[in-house]
Amino acid sequence: MVTLQYMPHKEIQDLDSDKRINKLLKVVRTDKIILLEGRLTNEEETTLIRKTMEQIDDDFKGVELVTSPELHYTWLTKIKSKLINVLLGNQYGFTIIGPASIIKEIKQDPSKIQLLAEDAPKKKKR
Partner 1 sequence: MIQKLKKFFNNLFKGLFKKKKQIKLGLYGPPNGGKTTLANKICEDWLGEQMGSVSSIAHETREVIFKEKVTIKSGNKEISFGLVDTPGIATKIDYEDFLKEGMKEKEAKVRAKEATKGVIDSIKWLDDMDTVIVVLDATTDPYSQVNITIMGNLEARKIPVLVVANKVDLKKADIKRIEAAFPQYKVIGISAKYGKNIEEFYEELIKLAA
User: Given the rule CB under 8 A, which residues bind partner 1?
Assistant: 42-43, 45-46, 48-50, 52-54, 56, 58, 61-67, 100, 106-110
Instruction: Report, in Å, the least distance between residue 9 CB and partner 1.
Output: 19
Report in angstroms how near the CB of residue 39 gets to partner 1 at its nearest.
10
**Minimal distance, residue 108 CB to partner 1, in Å:** 4
> In the bound complex, what is the minimum distance in angstroms from residue 5's beta carbon to partner 1?
19
Q: Give which of 2, 8, 90, 111 is closest to 41, Cα–Cα.
A: 90
Whichever of 60 and 91 has its CB closer to partner 1, that residue is 60
Q: Backbone phi, then psi, for 96, in 5-degree steps?
A: -110, 125
> Residues with Cβ < 8 Å from 52, sequence gap 6 or more?
25, 62, 63
Q: Which of 61, 47, 67, 69 is nearest to 104 (CA)?
A: 61
Nearer to partner 1, 10 or 78 (CB): 78
Which of 7, 102 has the CB closer to partner 1? Answer: 102
d(CA 37, CA 94): 5
